[in-house]
Amino acid sequence: MPQMTDLTTHPIATKYPPKHPERLQLYSTPTPNGVKVSIMLEETGLAYEPHFVAIGDNETWTPEFLALNPNGKIPAIIDPDGPGGKPLALFESGAILIYLAEKTGQLLPADPARRYETLQWVMWQMGGAGPLFGQLGFFHKFKGREIEDPRPKERYRAETERLLEVIETRLEGRDWIMGDEYTIADIALLGWVRTVVGFYEAGPIVGWDALSRTPAWLERGLARPAVQRGLTVPARP
């Protein structure tokens, strides 16, 4: 498609008309991946307009949404004030976290070594904790429960337990993933860990009660007002 010159020229604007086109536009659902971006937006204080995308109604597979994210997944954004003052459309929650951190100068250490250390934990969540936790949810709570072969569920159960232990080890002597500094590494993980022990009700099978630092970290994160707000954005109709 031609280069976007303003938000209203993008097909997504026909399905989700913006009331405030000058603000960053968020297209999402409050899932563990979706809330990464809404929490980040609340933490940074950027003005934004959220649009609820009904994934249960397959809205991510409409031509309008696929024009924004050809992978058909939430979250996605359009920043009308992107690099060089030009609109920027962006998908993939990890990429959006990094973009918003660099745009605002918040929640990503300026020191190069600590910056890359933070990014490695964001990548770890994107490639490990998120996908594996999600598969556990499928086999423990959703249609995967109907599969008689116990091996798939056991694989994801064991991997989830292992990954939670990685977090537990990392938090030794630290309040946050990066120590005293709350960063996008914490934001990337909070919604997923919360979902494993909450919505998925998988705590008893992944050794949650044997952990101490990770539950305390989750409690600290959930106590942040911006996190509480972000967990409900976009509001369901």
Per-residue pLDDT tens digits for 20-63:
999 999 999 999 999 999 999 999 999 999 999 999 999 999 99
Alpha-carbon Rg for the chain, nearest whole angstrom, is 18
pLDDT of 1 higher than 50: no
Residues with Cβ within 8 Å of residue 110, at least 6 apart in sequence: none
CATH number of 7-106, picked from 3.40.50.2000, 3.50.50.60, 3.40.50.720, 3.40.30.10: 3.40.30.10
User: Using H for helix, E for strand and C for coil, what is the string for 46-60?
Assistant: CCEEEEECCHHHCHH
Tell me the pLDDT tens digit for each residue of 199-223: 999 999 999 999 999 999 999 999 9
This model's pTM is above 0.75: yes
Domain 112-224 has CATH 1.20.1050.10: yes
For helices 112-124 and 93-104, angle between their N-to-C axes, nearest 10 degrees: 160
Residue 2: per-residue pLDDT? 45
Angle 192-29-104 from CA coordinates, rounded to 5°: 75
Q: Where are the domains of the chain?
A: 7-106, 112-224
> Quick one: what percent of the chain has pLDDT higher than 90?
92
The predicted structure's pLDDT at residue 3: 61
Cβ(233)–Cβ(35) under 8 Å?
yes
Give the pLDDT band (50/70/90) at residue 117.
very high
